[in-house]
A and B are shown apart, each in its own frame.
Chain A
């Protein structure tokens, strides 16, 4: 027999269950963040930030892995931004909905779902072996560029679509060409939205481990050029924690990563709010 609850009672139960689910999610989030920060922040000293790791990471700092993270991310952003923003402009401004736009969108959505370890396999066989770039910042950065491409395409496309059609019409009526309209009107208006995509892409690059370890390697030396192998902070943390090399330094690295991710997220949100305030 099914028990029929009084609608008022079921309403109350549902409210309690739903509120507790939300509280549980927030609790999990904060417990991860607070745990890592409380263990890690005391480890972050000037020496930790400015010295090169020695003895496999047992002593010294993490400077070379900070440089590794920054350079791999920089390569990825420099490559992925023009490609992603270009695709977004093509999809919104230069074509009608057709089979081609469908295929492009399908590709972007599919890329977004591909696991990072598969990107790692691809980057290894394509950039490291086939193009003979070796384990290097360049290989790692290019692999990450492919990985963040869908994020940049999607956010830029949304940003460009949100620019009111009037902006385009005014520009055209003043005799602006399509190119002038794009560069002088659409890019500046959609800039906060586009930057949000780029910032989210930076976040993914900084956090990524599987794809970078197979393409940039895990060398602890200070990289000297984009052809040098490098270890990023996330990879460094993984190796320190998994092989039990130094828990203190693992906590310190993780805390620095979390702080970076926090800043990146705050940055993205500030931009989104700016963009929303402008058009809504």
Chain B
């Protein structure tokens, strides 16, 4: 029983690699990763536009989401009266529990038309994807950074207060630097969630397979490529989706290892 997690991880890695590697070998590693053209009917499998899509959407989510999430974790750990934080915390858990399709749908109803009307473009865009992902990564970043702020020894805070620092000076110059590794880990895990999210992004990103030229353009990510085409793909096309999965899996494993390293370093 104890080895269930390990064997599951091994099985997942093996089966996805076995399905995907032959195709990468056939197309050529370089052509697969840096190929600009994804045309399964013509046997062309280049995922570079989707890698760019994933990076841009994730970057946008981090830029929008991290400041809000950090402020919220500082709020919970430092500013909120105990009773209030005991109410806000479960609310943030609830945010984590809402199905991602529901977020995607909400984005489709509110954010996509707003972008179309006020900023131009089709609305279904990298910006819309980033906003939805920014909301979806909030709970991950908030809860882990809050825990790392709360687990600091009270002595740090008392010392800073005793030196005459204001509450904010203490937070900025003492508490946040001391909780740095936990906060960093929370952000890396947030990046992991953003990279891995599928259903919400499918609904608001437009899913065009072309290199986007602005954040108001539609795009496709690695995950949405699998999510959209897996339903009808067969043969090499299906193997190419598993190969996309390999790239995704490798990115996630690197991010996870970084986050675990950051947490351990404490």
Contact = CB atoms under 8 A, between A and B. Distances in A.
B16 A82 contact: no
- The CB with the most chain A CB atoms within 10 A, among B9, B16, B135, is that of B9
Nearest to B105: A241
Contacts of B259: 113
A108 interface: yes
A207 B195 CA distance: 19
Interface string B55-78: 000000000000111011011100
Contacts of A82: 1
A121 B101 CA distance: 18
Contacts of A192: none
B6 A237 contact: no
Nearest to A100: B2
Interface stretch (A28-36, A47-55, A59-67): A28-36
B203 A241 contact: yes
A214 interface: yes
Contacts of B3: 104
A115 B195 contact: yes
B174 to A, nearest CB: 14
Interface in A1-54: 7-8, 10-11, 14-15, 17-19, 21-22, 24-26, 28-29, 32-33, 35-36
Nearest to B19: A125
Interface stretch (B37-45, B116-124, B163-171, B211-219): B163-171
A197 interface: no
Interface of A: 7-8, 10-11, 14-15, 17-19, 21-22, 24-26, 28-29, 32-33, 35-36, 82-84, 86-87, 90-91, 94, 103-104, 106-111, 113-122, 124-126, 130, 146, 149-150, 153, 203-204, 206-210, 213-214, 234, 237-238, 241-242, 250, 254, 257-258, 261-262, 264-265, 268-269
Given A109-B260, A114-B12, 6 more contacts: A22-B71, A29-B91, A111-B8, A113-B196, A250-B105, A254-B102
20 contacts: A7-B165, A10-B166, A14-B172, A18-B75, A25-B69, A25-B92, A84-B4, A87-B1, A113-B189, A113-B256, A116-B198, A117-B245, A118-B252, A119-B12, A121-B242, A126-B11, A237-B99, A241-B108, A250-B105, A261-B94
